[in-house]
Amino acid sequence: MMAMRNHTPNTEFVLGGFSEQREVQAALFVLFLGTYLLLLLGNLGTLLVVGLDAQLHTPMYFFLSSLSFLDICFSSTITPRMLSDLLAARKVISYPQCLTQLYFYAVFSTAECYLLAAMAYDRYVAICSPLLYATCVSSRACVLLVAGSYLAGILNASLHTCFALRLSFCGPNVVNHFYCEGPPLQAISCTDPTLSKVLMFVVVGSNLFLTGLAILVSYACILAAVLRTPSAAGRRKAFSTCSSHLSVVTLFYGSLAFMYSGASSRHSQELGKTASVFYTLVTPTLNPIVYSLRNKEMKAALGRALGRKHSAPK
Protein backbone atom coordinates (compact mmCIF):
# COMPACT_ATOMS: atom_id res chain seq x y z
CA MET A 1 0.00 0.00 0.00
CA MET A 2 2.93 2.32 0.69
CA ALA A 3 4.17 1.60 -2.83
CA MET A 4 0.74 2.36 -4.23
CA ARG A 5 0.83 5.77 -2.54
CA ASN A 6 4.29 6.48 -3.88
CA HIS A 7 3.83 8.31 -7.18
CA THR A 8 7.55 8.50 -7.92
CA PRO A 9 8.09 6.66 -11.22
CA ASN A 10 10.52 3.80 -11.60
CA THR A 11 13.96 4.86 -12.66
CA GLU A 12 13.77 2.53 -15.65
CA PHE A 13 11.41 0.40 -17.71
CA VAL A 14 12.06 -2.99 -19.26
CA LEU A 15 10.92 -3.16 -22.89
CA GLY A 16 9.31 -6.58 -23.10
CA GLY A 17 7.91 -6.40 -26.61
CA PHE A 18 10.57 -8.71 -28.02
CA SER A 19 10.57 -12.48 -28.17
CA GLU A 20 12.78 -14.19 -25.60
CA GLN A 21 14.28 -16.48 -28.28
CA ARG A 22 17.65 -15.22 -29.46
CA GLU A 23 17.08 -16.67 -32.95
CA VAL A 24 13.89 -14.65 -33.34
CA GLN A 25 15.62 -11.51 -32.06
CA ALA A 26 18.45 -12.01 -34.56
CA ALA A 27 15.96 -12.43 -37.41
CA LEU A 28 14.07 -9.31 -36.32
CA PHE A 29 17.34 -7.37 -36.15
CA VAL A 30 18.21 -8.29 -39.73
CA LEU A 31 14.67 -7.52 -40.94
CA PHE A 32 14.39 -4.18 -39.13
CA LEU A 33 17.92 -3.11 -40.06
CA GLY A 34 17.34 -3.90 -43.75
CA THR A 35 14.04 -2.03 -43.76
CA TYR A 36 15.56 0.95 -41.94
CA LEU A 37 18.45 1.16 -44.43
CA LEU A 38 15.97 1.08 -47.32
CA LEU A 39 13.99 3.81 -45.59
CA LEU A 40 17.08 6.00 -45.24
CA LEU A 41 18.20 5.32 -48.81
CA GLY A 42 14.82 6.13 -50.33
CA ASN A 43 14.10 9.25 -48.30
CA LEU A 44 17.63 10.67 -48.44
CA GLY A 45 17.60 10.02 -52.19
CA THR A 46 14.37 11.99 -52.52
CA LEU A 47 15.85 14.88 -50.53
CA LEU A 48 19.01 14.95 -52.65
CA VAL A 49 17.23 14.72 -56.01
CA VAL A 50 14.71 17.43 -55.14
CA GLY A 51 17.40 19.67 -53.68
CA LEU A 52 19.81 19.34 -56.62
CA ASP A 53 17.34 19.60 -59.52
CA ALA A 54 16.01 23.12 -60.12
CA GLN A 55 13.07 21.79 -62.15
CA LEU A 56 11.71 20.16 -58.99
CA HIS A 57 11.67 23.35 -56.94
CA THR A 58 7.87 23.45 -56.96
CA PRO A 59 5.28 23.19 -54.14
CA MET A 60 4.54 19.52 -54.78
CA TYR A 61 8.18 18.48 -54.46
CA PHE A 62 8.69 20.80 -51.51
CA PHE A 63 6.01 18.78 -49.72
CA LEU A 64 7.56 15.51 -50.90
CA SER A 65 10.98 16.47 -49.57
CA SER A 66 9.36 17.63 -46.31
CA LEU A 67 7.66 14.24 -46.02
CA SER A 68 10.96 12.44 -46.61
CA PHE A 69 12.71 14.49 -43.93
CA LEU A 70 9.81 13.87 -41.53
CA ASP A 71 9.85 10.12 -42.21
CA ILE A 72 13.58 9.95 -41.44
CA CYS A 73 13.06 11.81 -38.15
CA PHE A 74 9.98 9.77 -37.25
CA SER A 75 11.56 6.38 -37.79
CA SER A 76 14.91 7.42 -36.31
CA THR A 77 13.15 8.28 -33.05
CA ILE A 78 12.29 4.60 -32.64
CA THR A 79 14.35 2.26 -34.85
CA PRO A 80 17.99 2.79 -33.76
CA ARG A 81 17.04 2.25 -30.13
CA MET A 82 14.96 -0.78 -31.11
CA LEU A 83 17.89 -2.28 -33.03
CA SER A 84 20.27 -1.78 -30.11
CA ASP A 85 17.75 -3.39 -27.74
CA LEU A 86 17.56 -6.46 -29.97
CA LEU A 87 21.29 -6.96 -29.40
CA ALA A 88 21.26 -6.07 -25.70
CA ALA A 89 20.91 -8.58 -22.89
CA ARG A 90 18.82 -6.16 -20.78
CA LYS A 91 16.36 -4.05 -22.75
CA VAL A 92 15.91 -1.15 -20.35
CA ILE A 93 15.11 2.52 -20.83
CA SER A 94 15.17 5.21 -18.13
CA TYR A 95 12.07 7.19 -17.25
CA PRO A 96 13.37 10.48 -18.76
CA GLN A 97 14.48 8.69 -21.92
CA CYS A 98 11.09 7.03 -22.17
CA LEU A 99 9.22 10.34 -21.94
CA THR A 100 11.63 11.94 -24.43
CA GLN A 101 11.05 9.14 -26.92
CA LEU A 102 7.29 9.41 -26.40
CA TYR A 103 7.40 13.17 -26.96
CA PHE A 104 9.32 13.13 -30.24
CA TYR A 105 7.39 10.11 -31.51
CA ALA A 106 4.16 12.08 -30.96
CA VAL A 107 5.62 15.21 -32.60
CA PHE A 108 6.62 13.46 -35.82
CA SER A 109 3.64 11.10 -36.13
CA THR A 110 1.16 13.97 -35.69
CA ALA A 111 3.10 16.24 -38.03
CA GLU A 112 3.01 13.52 -40.68
CA CYS A 113 -0.79 13.34 -40.48
CA TYR A 114 -1.11 17.07 -41.10
CA LEU A 115 1.58 17.06 -43.79
CA LEU A 116 -0.24 14.29 -45.69
CA ALA A 117 -3.39 16.43 -45.51
CA ALA A 118 -1.44 19.44 -46.85
CA MET A 119 -0.13 17.30 -49.73
CA ALA A 120 -3.67 16.19 -50.57
CA TYR A 121 -4.78 19.84 -50.57
CA ASP A 122 -1.89 20.72 -52.89
CA ARG A 123 -2.97 18.07 -55.42
CA TYR A 124 -6.62 19.12 -55.09
CA VAL A 125 -5.85 22.75 -55.98
CA ALA A 126 -3.47 21.73 -58.79
CA ILE A 127 -6.05 19.49 -60.48
CA CYS A 128 -9.39 21.07 -59.58
CA SER A 129 -8.44 24.79 -59.55
CA PRO A 130 -5.24 25.14 -61.61
CA LEU A 131 -5.81 28.85 -62.28
CA LEU A 132 -5.71 29.54 -58.53
CA TYR A 133 -2.75 27.27 -57.84
CA ALA A 134 -0.07 29.99 -57.80
CA THR A 135 -2.15 32.00 -55.33
CA CYS A 136 -3.42 29.23 -53.05
CA VAL A 137 -0.18 27.25 -52.92
CA SER A 138 2.42 30.01 -52.90
CA SER A 139 5.87 29.58 -51.38
CA ARG A 140 4.68 31.34 -48.22
CA ALA A 141 1.62 29.09 -48.00
CA CYS A 142 3.81 25.98 -48.37
CA VAL A 143 6.11 27.07 -45.56
CA LEU A 144 3.13 27.90 -43.34
CA LEU A 145 1.49 24.52 -44.00
CA VAL A 146 4.67 22.62 -43.12
CA ALA A 147 5.31 24.82 -40.07
CA GLY A 148 1.68 24.34 -39.01
CA SER A 149 2.13 20.56 -39.25
CA TYR A 150 5.07 20.69 -36.85
CA LEU A 151 3.20 23.07 -34.55
CA ALA A 152 0.29 20.62 -34.39
CA GLY A 153 2.79 17.87 -33.62
CA ILE A 154 4.38 19.86 -30.79
CA LEU A 155 1.00 20.68 -29.23
CA ASN A 156 -0.16 17.08 -29.47
CA ALA A 157 3.13 15.75 -28.08
CA SER A 158 2.92 18.15 -25.15
CA LEU A 159 -0.54 16.81 -24.31
CA HIS A 160 0.64 13.18 -24.63
CA THR A 161 3.59 13.88 -22.32
CA CYS A 162 1.28 15.53 -19.79
CA PHE A 163 -0.96 12.46 -19.88
CA ALA A 164 2.08 10.24 -19.25
CA LEU A 165 3.27 12.42 -16.37
CA ARG A 166 -0.07 11.84 -14.61
CA LEU A 167 0.63 8.11 -14.48
CA SER A 168 2.44 6.50 -11.55
CA PHE A 169 4.35 3.24 -11.81
CA CYS A 170 4.80 1.21 -8.66
CA GLY A 171 4.37 -2.39 -9.79
CA PRO A 172 6.01 -4.43 -12.54
CA ASN A 173 7.91 -2.11 -14.88
CA VAL A 174 7.81 -4.33 -17.97
CA VAL A 175 6.37 -2.44 -20.98
CA ASN A 176 4.83 -4.87 -23.46
CA HIS A 177 6.12 -2.97 -26.48
CA PHE A 178 9.24 -2.17 -28.54
CA TYR A 179 9.38 1.43 -27.36
CA CYS A 180 7.60 3.93 -25.10
CA GLU A 181 4.08 4.69 -26.29
CA GLY A 182 0.94 5.86 -24.53
CA PRO A 183 -1.27 2.73 -24.40
CA PRO A 184 1.47 0.29 -23.20
CA LEU A 185 2.48 2.73 -20.45
CA GLN A 186 -1.15 3.10 -19.37
CA ALA A 187 -1.42 -0.69 -19.19
CA ILE A 188 1.23 -0.95 -16.44
CA SER A 189 0.24 2.15 -14.47
CA CYS A 190 -0.80 1.57 -10.87
CA THR A 191 -3.20 4.52 -10.96
CA ASP A 192 -6.51 4.57 -12.78
CA PRO A 193 -5.63 5.49 -16.39
CA THR A 194 -9.25 6.02 -17.47
CA LEU A 195 -9.02 9.80 -17.71
CA SER A 196 -5.72 9.63 -19.62
CA LYS A 197 -7.21 7.04 -21.99
CA VAL A 198 -10.28 9.16 -22.65
CA LEU A 199 -8.26 12.34 -23.20
CA MET A 200 -5.77 10.54 -25.44
CA PHE A 201 -8.58 8.96 -27.45
CA VAL A 202 -10.20 12.38 -27.94
CA VAL A 203 -6.95 14.08 -28.95
CA VAL A 204 -5.71 11.32 -31.26
CA GLY A 205 -9.18 10.75 -32.68
CA SER A 206 -9.62 14.45 -33.45
CA ASN A 207 -6.27 14.66 -35.24
CA LEU A 208 -6.90 11.50 -37.26
CA PHE A 209 -10.48 12.50 -38.10
CA LEU A 210 -9.68 16.06 -39.21
CA THR A 211 -6.65 15.20 -41.33
CA GLY A 212 -8.19 11.98 -42.65
CA LEU A 213 -11.37 13.82 -43.66
CA ALA A 214 -9.31 16.48 -45.45
CA ILE A 215 -7.44 13.79 -47.39
CA LEU A 216 -10.59 11.87 -48.34
CA VAL A 217 -12.46 15.00 -49.46
CA SER A 218 -9.46 16.19 -51.49
CA TYR A 219 -9.05 12.89 -53.31
CA ALA A 220 -12.80 12.54 -53.82
CA CYS A 221 -12.82 15.94 -55.57
CA ILE A 222 -9.76 14.93 -57.59
CA LEU A 223 -11.40 11.70 -58.75
CA ALA A 224 -14.62 13.54 -59.61
CA ALA A 225 -12.64 16.02 -61.71
CA VAL A 226 -10.70 13.22 -63.40
CA LEU A 227 -13.89 11.35 -64.30
CA ARG A 228 -14.99 14.40 -66.29
CA THR A 229 -11.87 14.33 -68.45
CA PRO A 230 -12.28 12.74 -71.91
CA SER A 231 -8.88 10.98 -71.88
CA ALA A 232 -9.10 7.33 -70.84
CA ALA A 233 -5.32 7.16 -70.37
CA GLY A 234 -5.43 10.20 -68.11
CA ARG A 235 -8.18 8.64 -66.03
CA ARG A 236 -6.23 5.38 -65.64
CA LYS A 237 -3.08 7.26 -64.59
CA ALA A 238 -5.00 9.40 -62.07
CA PHE A 239 -6.79 6.37 -60.62
CA SER A 240 -3.47 4.52 -60.28
CA THR A 241 -1.82 7.48 -58.58
CA CYS A 242 -4.72 8.19 -56.22
CA SER A 243 -5.14 4.53 -55.28
CA SER A 244 -1.42 4.23 -54.48
CA HIS A 245 -1.45 7.36 -52.34
CA LEU A 246 -4.63 6.34 -50.54
CA SER A 247 -3.32 2.82 -49.87
CA VAL A 248 -0.25 4.19 -48.08
CA VAL A 249 -2.34 6.77 -46.19
CA THR A 250 -4.84 4.06 -45.17
CA LEU A 251 -2.01 1.85 -43.90
CA PHE A 252 -0.57 4.69 -41.83
CA TYR A 253 -3.90 5.92 -40.45
CA GLY A 254 -5.30 2.44 -39.90
CA SER A 255 -2.34 1.21 -37.86
CA LEU A 256 -2.32 4.41 -35.77
CA ALA A 257 -6.06 4.19 -35.17
CA PHE A 258 -5.78 0.55 -34.10
CA MET A 259 -2.98 1.33 -31.64
CA TYR A 260 -5.03 4.06 -29.95
CA SER A 261 -8.45 2.42 -30.19
CA GLY A 262 -8.38 1.53 -26.49
CA ALA A 263 -8.08 -2.26 -26.80
CA SER A 264 -6.27 -3.64 -23.75
CA SER A 265 -6.42 -7.45 -24.08
CA ARG A 266 -3.21 -9.42 -24.49
CA HIS A 267 -4.14 -10.34 -28.07
CA SER A 268 -4.87 -6.72 -28.92
CA GLN A 269 -1.54 -5.64 -27.46
CA GLU A 270 0.27 -8.13 -29.68
CA LEU A 271 -1.60 -6.81 -32.73
CA GLY A 272 -0.77 -3.28 -31.59
CA LYS A 273 2.94 -4.09 -31.68
CA THR A 274 2.54 -5.36 -35.23
CA ALA A 275 0.63 -2.21 -36.20
CA SER A 276 3.37 -0.03 -34.73
CA VAL A 277 5.94 -1.64 -37.03
CA PHE A 278 3.83 -0.59 -40.01
CA TYR A 279 3.64 3.11 -39.17
CA THR A 280 7.22 3.43 -37.88
CA LEU A 281 9.03 1.37 -40.52
CA VAL A 282 6.88 0.06 -43.37
CA THR A 283 4.96 3.22 -44.32
CA PRO A 284 8.02 5.54 -44.23
CA THR A 285 9.78 3.02 -46.49
CA LEU A 286 6.87 2.90 -48.94
CA ASN A 287 6.44 6.69 -49.16
CA PRO A 288 9.45 7.33 -51.45
CA ILE A 289 8.33 4.48 -53.73
CA VAL A 290 4.73 5.61 -54.00
CA TYR A 291 5.22 9.38 -54.04
CA SER A 292 8.59 9.65 -55.79
CA LEU A 293 9.88 6.64 -57.70
CA ARG A 294 6.57 6.16 -59.54
CA ASN A 295 6.73 9.80 -60.63
CA LYS A 296 8.07 10.46 -64.15
CA GLU A 297 9.52 13.85 -63.21
CA MET A 298 11.41 12.31 -60.30
CA LYS A 299 12.74 9.56 -62.53
CA ALA A 300 13.88 12.12 -65.10
CA ALA A 301 15.55 14.22 -62.39
CA LEU A 302 17.30 11.12 -61.05
CA GLY A 303 18.49 10.32 -64.58
CA ARG A 304 19.83 13.86 -64.99
CA ALA A 305 21.63 13.65 -61.64
CA LEU A 306 23.23 10.32 -62.55
CA GLY A 307 24.09 11.64 -66.01
CA ARG A 308 25.88 14.64 -64.52
CA LYS A 309 27.81 12.34 -62.22
CA HIS A 310 28.97 10.05 -65.05
CA SER A 311 29.82 12.95 -67.36
CA ALA A 312 31.81 14.87 -64.74
CA PRO A 313 35.56 15.05 -65.49
CA LYS A 314 37.64 12.54 -63.64
Give the 3-state DSSP-derived string for the chain, with helices as H, strands as E and coil as C. Answer: CHHHHCCCCCCEEEECCCCCCHHHHHHHHHHHHHHHHHHHHHHHHHHHHHHHCHHHCCHHHHHHHHHHHHHHHHHHHHHHHHHHHHHCCCCEEEHHHHHHHHHHHHHHHHHHHHHHHHHHHHHHHHHHCHHHHHHHCCHHHHHHHHHHHHHHHHHHHHHHHHHHHCCCCCCCCEECCCCCCHHHHHHCCCCCCHHHHHHHHHHHHHHHHHHHHHHHHHHHHHHHHHHCCCCHHHHHHHHHHHHHHHHHHHHHHHHHHHHCCCCCCHHHHHHHHHHHHHHHHHHHHHHHHHHHHCCHHHHHHHHHHHHHHHHCCC
Please give the residue that has the higher pLDDT: either 251 or 236: 251
Give the model's pLDDT for residue 233: 62
pLDDT classification of 142: cutoffs 50, 70, 90: very high
Question: 37-46 b/e with 16+ CB inside 10 Å = b?
Answer: ebbbebbebb
Give the model's pLDDT for residue 2: 41
Angstrom distances, CA of residue 158 to CA of 54, 119, 203, 230, 288: 38, 25, 11, 49, 29
Please give the residue that has the higher pLDDT: either 36 or 127: 36
Query: CB atoms < 10 A from the CB of 146, how many?
Result: 21
pTM reported for the whole predicted model: 0.87
Q: Please answer whether residues 154 and 106 qualify as being in contact, where contact means their C-beta atoms are separated by less than 8 angstroms.
A: no
Is residue 196 helix, strand or coil?
helix
Angstrom distances, CA of residue 22 to CA of 9, 28, 87, 96, 199: 30, 10, 9, 28, 38
pLDDT classification of 44: cutoffs 50, 70, 90: very high
Q: Please answer whether residues 71 and 287 qualify as being in contact, where contact means their C-beta atoms are separated by less than 8 angstroms.
A: yes
Mean pLDDT of 145-162: 94
Q: What percent of the chain has pLDDT over 70?
A: 85
Q: How far is CA 159 from the centre of its chain?
A: 18
Q: Does pLDDT of 8 surpass 60?
A: no
Instruction: Quote the CA–CA distance of 262 and 3 in Å, as a whole number.
Output: 27
Q: Tens digits of per-residue pLDDT, 60-90?
A: 889 999 999 999 999 999 999 999 988 888 8
Give the model's pLDDT for residue 296: 74
pLDDT classification of 182: cutoffs 50, 70, 90: confident
pLDDT classification of 301: cutoffs 50, 70, 90: confident
Instruction: Quote the CA–CA distance of 300 and 230 in Å, as a whole number.
Output: 27
Give the model's pLDDT for residue 266: 58
* Packed helices 59-87 and 22-52: angle between N→C axes, nearest 10 degrees: 160
Mean pLDDT of 224-242: 69
Q: Please answer whether residues 28 and 86 qualify as being in contact, where contact means their C-beta atoms are separated by less than 8 angstroms.
A: yes
First-residue to last-residue Cα distance in the chain: 75
Q: Does pLDDT of 238 surpass 80?
A: no
Mean pLDDT of 83-99: 88
**Domains identified in the chain and CATH numbers:** 13-305 (1.20.1070.10)
